[in-house]
Homo-oligomer: A and B are copies of this chain.
Amino acid sequence: MFGIFGHPEAANMAYLGLHALQHRGQESAGIVSTDGQTMFQERGMGLVADIFSRERIKRLRGSAAIGHTRYSTTGTSRLVNAQPFRIACHRGEIAVAHNGNLVNAASLRSGLERDGSIFMTSSDTEVILHLVARSQARTLEGALVDALTRVEGAWSLAFLFHDRLIVGRDPWGFRPLSLGRLGEATVVASESCAFDLIGARFERDVRPGELIIVDATGVRSEMPFRPRPTKQCIFEQVYFSRPDSTVFGHSVNQARRQMGAALAREHPAVADVVVPVPDSGLCAALGYSEVSGVPFDFGLVRNHYVGRTFIEPRQAIRHFGVKLKLNPVPGVIRDRRVVLVDDSIVRGTTSRKIVSMVRESGAREVHVRISCPPTVGPCHYGVDTPTRAELIASTQSVEEIRRYLQADSLGYLSIEGLREAVGGGAPFCDACYTNDYPVPIPKEKPAQTGLFEVRR
């Protein structure tokens, strides 16, 4: 998610910002810009670099823009769901980009439908736009506050209007959002690495519960929502953010390094080499190696040219799917006791294939180390995890998982170790490891009216 106000090449900067944020979503991307009179929208399926031609960028006129990349969710990969959305209502044209997930979207939507609203997407974000349009508030900001007071869950949002950009974070601060400056222009981005690419200066994080209004007169901040305990997504540090970003005030690279270090202290291994699963396990493996004294080496090589769809041979090749992406380096692995460091085990199937592949390359022992606790619960606040039933750790003990992986040992970082690695204290949501959900998930899902998917 990216926003910019007051730059002569707003759309081009948004395009580059989205490119730097590509890891946050590869399914679709879009940009909406405005020249103060009209809005311009370009969206497409696929990668930022493929969607935006020079011609499409040129069509995105004006000095303000917001952009979005969407990750692949199963089922409803449809262009109509690609953000930013752009609508007209009695307050004028509004575009919106949303990072996060609302937990009460289904019931709000039911209510809105009962009141005569129509929905054109299956996205929870559309609910917010309806609430803004229906608000009786006198001012635009008032209407946004009205709407955002009624939604529950995770939202980092960027709204674009003809004459202003308004961004905000929910009161728990689930998802990241940073504020920066590029010459005269104000910029916002999900991660600071987007600022680095365009040469913008990081200023500060948008605060949980803060709305920031950017217009021709300058930048104003408001804190219109009931304060809540800060609950920033710990998984941003574990996996989601890029290591060169500073997220929630911490260097991601450093946090991961410390996860690896703590993991080495909690789960040492008598071994010959520490091998990261690239790229997610790189930083933690380095930390593990440093503390354990076991040498670090690149025992798995990643193929950078993996395309989206791949033609499989009829005749089965063992571990085909994993091999397309990863290849073991026999010289590093053969006859060695290997510590394999990764950032998480979700369903367990991929990890099992990697362990088996490493073993076939001649490893004497394979010790799996994971730089976070077992993933026991799905995320309801904006990370695309499988359902609880699919999470191997929600039903299996660590020993059972170890047996499934056919690893010689398996160690997960403790929740305490993880918390300490990311700076300690309570301001994190770690529901996926603890089942402690800060915003309750409604039990009943309301009657469905089609065109809508309820997030697990």
A-to-B contact residues, CB < 8 Å = 8-9, 12-13, 15-16, 19-20, 22-23, 26, 38-39, 41, 47-50, 52-54, 57, 78-80, 85-90, 92-93, 110, 113-120, 129-130, 133-135, 162, 193, 196-199, 242-244, 246, 251, 253-254, 257, 279, 282-283, 286, 290, 295-298, 301, 303-308, 310-311, 313-315, 317-318, 323-324, 327-332, 449-452
Contacts and interface: CB of A to CB of B under 8 A. Distances in A.
Given A89-B119, A449-B90, A331 B130 contact: no
A80 B78 CA distance: 12
A358 to B, nearest CB: 12
Contact of A449 (B48, B93, B295, B324): B93
Contacts of A254: 331-332
Contact of A313 (B13, B114, B134, B253): B13
Contacts of A306: 49
A49 B305 contact: yes
Q: Which 5 pairs between the two chains have the least Cβ-Cβ distance?
A: A49-B307, A251-B331, A116-B134, A93-B450, A88-B451
B450 A20 contact: no
A40 to B, nearest CB: 10
A49 B47 CA distance: 15
Contacts of A12: 311, 313-314
Q: What is the total number of copies of this protein in its complex?
A: 4
Contacts of A331: 246, 251, 253-254
A110 to B, nearest CB: 8
16 contacts: A16-B313, A19-B303, A19-B305, A41-B80, A87-B118, A87-B120, A88-B119, A90-B113, A90-B114, A197-B324, A244-B327, A251-B332, A279-B304, A282-B298, A283-B298, A290-B295
Contacts of A328: 196, 244
